[in-house]
Amino acid sequence: MSQPAGNPYAAELAAAKKAVVLAARLCQMVQQNIVQSSVHTKADKSPVTVADYGSQLLVSLVLKMEAPPSDSFSLVAEEDSEELRKDGAEEILENITELVNETIVDDGSYSILFSKEGILAAIDDGKSEGGPSGRHWVLDPIDGTKGFLRGGQYAIALALIDEGKVVLGVLACPNLPLGSTGNLNGSSSGDQIGALFSATIGCGAEVESLQGSVRHKISVCSIDNLVNASFFESYEGAHTMHDLTSSIAEPKLGVQAPPVRMDSQAKYGALARGDGAIYLCFPHKCYREKIWDHAAGSIVVTVAGGVVRHASGEDLDFSKGRCLDLDTGIIATNKLLMPSLLKAVQDAIKEKNQAPSPL
């Protein structure tokens, strides 16, 4: 897979793309045959599947094998082995082991088979804390687990942080149409399904099929009138405050189109290629956003010519460990719309905060 000349992160980008494509194959197999034993529940009540664990392990494996060596391998990832080491997790661990080894054998790139203990140890490669110095890979092995379980959108989202800055990102979106479409909640029978977005700072953003078709440069839309804009938000009401976004879109911005609700960072990919104009994310106060929730998607949009900001107007800072310090939420759009969008968001947040609490 050839890379653009002059890309200082060409080898890392190639490794990242290979990693998420292999992980996507495993995820697609699991999604096609979801069974009860394939789903586990973490202590925070969020569902996690054999695909989450298997995806994380495969990405870690490929990065270790393919990425240029560094002083130490650092992976900041969502999953760890704690739940799998508990009584009652034997069946899901057995499923993960079989699925990972089957995927590796089918791919043929590596002569490696994992034991159950090897699986647990490899999953724990993702326990790095990140930080402002050195290089850190950042991974959400399945962003949008609930969408994955529903048969909807999900993404394998991988980014590289170098000295506190995100420098590349890849998004494997197995259920997203490859071509732009106005019907993002579905697709026509003629659409090729499965998109791989990639971006490196200073080298542009691209999309190709998960099977490795010709790459196409992408850029955010050039809409400069909010009335003509459409916006993305999370499918799940538990992930974002739909009431806040609705109070911004039509009353404040004059947006006529209904929201496009989609799981996962696939929204960032769709925004980066111009399928919509705005992405609004306002997590509930009980959830603290993690760097893997936005690192890969934000760099894809930024390199495609967009802007991703805190609702306060500041840039996102991925250098402070595993969590993002957010001021209410995240907004993304093109450079033309950001000033008016930012003002509308800040006005709506101020009004919400000043409103009397319901009895």
Residues assigned a catalytic role: 52, 145
By DSSP bridging, strand 75-77 and strand 135-143 are parallel
Residue 190 exposure: Cα atoms within 13 Å on the Cβ side? 4
Question: In this structure, which amino acid lies at residue 329?
Answer: G
**Following DSSP, what letter does each residue of 15-55 receive, concatenated?**
HHHHHHHHHHHHHHHHHHT--GGGEEE-TTS-EEEHHHHHH
Question: In this structure, which amino acid lies at residue 251?
Answer: P
Q: Pull the structure tokens for residue 251.
A: 């009353």
How far apart CA 192 and CA 194 sit, in angstroms, is 7
Contact 53, 96 (CB under 8 A): yes
Of 199, 342, 326, 203, the closest CA to residue 273 belongs to 199
Question: Who contacts 122 (Cβ-Cβ below 8 Å, separation ≥6)?
Answer: 57, 60, 61, 114
Q: Is 281 helix (H, G, I), strand (E, B) or coil?
A: strand
Q: Pull the structure tokens for residue 38.
A: 């394939």
How far apart CA 194 and CA 269 sit, in angstroms, is 12
CA distances from 34 to 55, 84, 236, 240, 356 (A): 15, 18, 20, 26, 45
Question: In this structure, which amino acid lies at residue 346?
Answer: Q
How far apart CA 63 and CA 52 sit, in angstroms, is 17
Of 226, 330, 215, the closest CA to residue 276 belongs to 226
How far apart CA 55 and CA 47 sit, in angstroms, is 15
Q: What is the DSSP letter of 111?
A: -
Q: Is 76 helix (H, G, I), strand (E, B) or coil?
A: strand
